[in-house]
Amino acid sequence: MNTNAVPDETLACEAQAGSMSSFEELVYRYESRIFQFLRCRVGGVHDAQDLTQSVFVRAFRKIGKFNPRYKFATWLFTIARRESINHYRRQSLMYVKFLPEELFRVGDPGREAALRDAREKLWELARHRLPENQFAALYLRAAEQMSIKDVARALQKTQTHVKVLLHRARRQMVKELVEGSEELAAIRDTAREATGTAVVKVARAESN
């Protein structure tokens, strides 16, 4: 049987019934995504690796509480977010990445390197400027491409609240880039060149 054709929620139900292979398939599908999410939030590779393991240990222990009416990804990222918040409270350290990699693929290796650097600096700016809830909403919406509904469930907010968080995050990032230093202006112009759009589009997370 092609396990890739089996929905996540079906695998989760099988794991609830005691199937370790089904749970291992879920780990295979989500390990790199959870690791990236956590690394964006805590910075260090080793911390992110440790937290990724903690997320799946917690998910395994709580799999019986998963409700298959909802998306498994939303449930799992909710656990990951809680783990990162606990880590942040312990370490007072956060690190974020911001814009999807595909926005910066232009075919020129030299330009791509410069654009990746701009991308990292944009996320570094977001790390220092955006409140935790705004960052989380923006990451799940832009990087994980979750729907507003799923972001709301992951953050335990209303959909209206999530839209407000996204609007404020977008507005703050645009303000920082427009009013910031010459270095930030260069980042803004590089991002615009990469996408052919204004910064407001580069940094946005749509409300629909």
pLDDT tens for residues 8-65?
A: 999 999 999 999 999 999 999 999 999 988 887 777 788 888 899 999 999 999 999 9
Dihedral of the alpha carbons of 188, 145, 80, 42, in degrees to the nearest 10? -10
Nearest Cα residue to 27 out of 55, 50, 49, 2: 55
Q: Which two tokens stand for residue 194?
A: 């990469």
Assign 141 a pLDDT band (cuts: 50, 70, 90): confident
**In this structure, what are the phi and psi dihedrals at residue 162, rounded to the nearest 5 degrees?**
-60, -45
**Which of these ranges, 15-29, 60-74, 91-105, 118-132, has the smallest mean pLDDT?**
91-105
Q: How far is CA 65 from CA 19, 60, 61, 146, 181, in A?
A: 15, 10, 9, 22, 49
Instruction: Identify the pLDDT of residue 208.
Output: 38
Six-digit token pair at 43? 């910075």
For residues 186 and 181, what is the distance between their CA atoms, to the nearest angstrom? 9
Q: Does this model's pTM top 0.75?
A: no
* Higher-pLDDT residue of 11, 118: 11
Other Cβ atoms closer than 10 A to 135: 21
- Output the pLDDT for position 189: 58
Residue 102's pLDDT is 47
Q: Which fold has domain 3-91?
A: Rna Polymerase Sigma Factor; Chain: A (1.10.1740)
Least-confidence region, from 15-29, 145-159, 186-200: 186-200
Q: Quick check: 96 and 126 in contact, CB under 8 A?
A: yes
pLDDT of residue 114: 66
Q: Which residue has the higher pLDDT, 79 or 85?
A: 79
DSSP assignment letter at 17: T
Give CA separation, 156 vs 77, 84, 133, 136, in Å. Answer: 11, 15, 11, 11
Ranking 144-153, 158-167, 176-185 by mean pLDDT, the lowest is: 176-185
Q: Between 112 and 125, where is the model more confident?
A: 125
207 pLDDT tier (thresholds 50, 70, 90)? very low
| Whether the Cβ atoms of residue 205 and residue 146 lie closer than 8 Å to each other | no
